[in-house]
Every structure is written in C-alpha cells, then in structure tokens.
Amino acid sequence: MEVSRENIEELIHSYECSQRHALAIMQDMQRRYQYIPREGLNALAKYLGCPVSSLYAMATFYKALSLVPKGEHIIKCCDGTACHIRGASTLIDGVERELGISPGETTSDGLFSFETVNCLGSCAMAPVLVVDDVYYGRVTPEKLKGIIQTVREGGAK
C-alpha cells in the first residue's frame, strides 16, 4: 500500500489518543507498509503529544519493527541453537547466494528482505525458514531453491 497522509491518519485515529497504544499503532503501520514511515512516526508523535524521539526509541528497540522499507516477501532464517546445529548456516549462505543479499538487506527489485532470528520456537523442525509467516521445516539447500521459486511465482501467501 502506498504511504499517504490520509491512510496514516486513518490508522492512527482508529485508536484512542493514549500513549499506551503507541506500540500497537506502530505494529499496524508495520503490517500495512512493511515498515514504519517517517511521516507515520511524526503524525503519531503529534497525535499522542509525545516526542518523536521516544517513538523512535521504541521502534528501534523492537526487532520486529523497521524504519526502512522491507521487501514484499520477508524471509526469516532461524539461527538458534537447534537450527544452527542442523545447518542454518548453510541455509543462510543459500539465501545469500540465491538472492544476492545478506541478512538485513532487501533485493533491489523490492521483492525479498532477508533476516536471521535467534529462535522461531520450532526446534523440532530445525532448520526452520519462515517466509511471510509460512513455516518451512527441515529445510535443505534443495528445498530452499524450491521455496524461493514458489514465492517468486506468488505461492507463499
């Protein structure tokens, strides 16, 4: 969805004007735009009557929130203990090779963002990859190529 002042205002004003809703509002912005736009932070600060710096601190504290645009599809590779032992580093290398990006980056076409996370809570299925909230367990380099191809063709959502 394109960022517009009207959309931001509509989202913000769907909540009661209370600082206790700041995180929920930012999470909604993140879901809508795949990141929290600068104009969203500014409008939220004005609405709540708080400094932008306090919202910025919150947005940078939570790893799930981003202040830079993310790709249309977000790939998360678990690198927790169980996944690491079962080959997460091979998957990380595979994603880097397939997409030409490192963790924390987005492809130039804006299609994919890649992240590593400490744990996805699916240790029995290690190594685990999550694409757009779809979990893939026991991922091998061969399966990885198929997953990325499926997502490219619009099949992950």
Task: Please tell me whether 83 is known to bind a ligand.
Answer: yes
Q: What type of residue sits at position 113? A: S
**DSSP code string of 40-55:** HHHHHHHHHT--HHHH
With both helix axes pointing from N to C terminus, report the angle between 5-12 and 22-33 in degrees, rounded to the nearest 10: 140
| Nearest CA-CA partner of 26 in 1, 50, 62 | 62
* Interatomic CA distance for residues 14 and 25, integer angstroms: 9
Map residue 64 onto helix, strand or coil.
Answer: coil
Task: Please tell me whether 50 is known to bind a ligand.
Answer: no
Q: What type of residue sits at position 7? A: N
Task: State the CB neighbour count (10 A cutoff) for residue 31.
Answer: 10
Task: Please tell me whether 123 is known to bind a ligand.
Answer: yes
Annotated binding site for [2Fe-2S] cluster: 78, 83, 119, 123
Annotated binding site: 78, 83, 119, 123
